[in-house]
């Protein structure tokens, strides 16, 4: 009966440790997902600000052209407005790419943490089984002579002749 209690304690300890590790990895995964969501929110805010700046630059360029007597259809003004628009779009797209790239990295880390949680659960089951078998064997559960090596020919606890006589050669 004592053997079964020891086996249950060893296996239960391994399972509890695996459960705690898996739970920690799932919390880590959730933290990465939260960070991804915050990154995308910040990126969306940055894009909105860049869009606003682009519109302000476009409006200012139109006002300056009108102040200097140039028309909106003047080729120089059209080129400047087109260049300003292209620069604004480039900045918006670069910001979007950077935000999405960072968010994808965080999402990958979240998925990796979930895989680690699953692996921890599987390892816990294996560790529980091996801890149970090892504890059972250690407590003499597989028979009287199970602790000696089969090829040694020695009884459990007996020392080789060279060691017992004091000669190590």
Residue 163 belongs to some domain of the structure? no
Structural domain count, the chain: 1
Look up the pTM and report it: 0.64
Residue 37 belongs to some domain of the structure? yes
- Please give the pLDDT value at position 145: 47
Mean pLDDT of 93-122: 94
Instruction: Measure the CA–CA gap between 30 and 36, rounded to whole angstroms.
Output: 10
Residue 125 belongs to some domain of the structure? yes
Mean pLDDT of 146-155: 48
Q: 91 with 50: CB under 8 angstroms?
A: yes
For residue 1, name the pLDDT band (cuts at 50, 70, 90): low
Is the torsion defined by CA of 90, 91, 92, 96 positive or negative?
Answer: positive
Residue 164 belongs to some domain of the structure? no
Query: Smallest Cα–Cα separation from 109: which of 9, 35, 5, 8?
Result: 35
Percent of the chain exceeding pLDDT 90 equals 43
Expressed as residue numbers, the domain containing 59 is: 2-139
Is the torsion defined by CA of 68, 71, 72, 73 positive or negative?
Answer: negative
Mean pLDDT of 70-91: 87
- Please give the pLDDT value at position 8: 80
Q: 116 with 23: CB under 8 angstroms?
A: no
Mean pLDDT of 135-160: 57
pLDDT digits (tens, 9 = 90+) for 26-62: 999 999 999 999 999 999 999 999 999 999 999 998 8
Residue 103 belongs to some domain of the structure? yes
157: pLDDT strictly greater than 70:
no
Residue 151 belongs to some domain of the structure? no
Instruction: Measure the CA–CA gap between 97 and 94, rounded to whole angstroms.
Output: 5
Residue 154 belongs to some domain of the structure? no
For residue 143, name the pLDDT band (cuts at 50, 70, 90): low
Residue 159 belongs to some domain of the structure? no
């Amino acid at each position: 009966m004592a053997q079964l209690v020891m086996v249950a304690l060893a296996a239960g300890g391994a399972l509890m440790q695996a459960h705690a590790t898996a739970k920690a990895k799932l919390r880590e995964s959730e933290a990465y997902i939260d960070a991804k969501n915050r990154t995308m929110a910040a990126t969306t805010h940055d894009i909105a600000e860049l869009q606003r700046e682009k519109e302000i630059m476009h409006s200012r360029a139109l006002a300056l052209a009108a102040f200097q007597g140039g028309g909106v259809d003047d080729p120089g003004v059209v080129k400047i407005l087109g260049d300003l628009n292209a620069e604004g779009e480039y900045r918006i797209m670069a910001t979007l790419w950077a935000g999405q790239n960072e968010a994808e990295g965080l999402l990958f880390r979240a998925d990796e943490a979930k895989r680690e949680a699953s692996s921890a659960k599987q390892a816990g089951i294996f560790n529980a089984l091996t801890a149970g078998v090892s504890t059972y064997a250690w407590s003499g559960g597989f028979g009287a002579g199970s602790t000696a090596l089969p090829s040694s020919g020695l009884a459990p606890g007996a020392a080789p002749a060279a060691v017992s006589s004091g000669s190590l050669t």
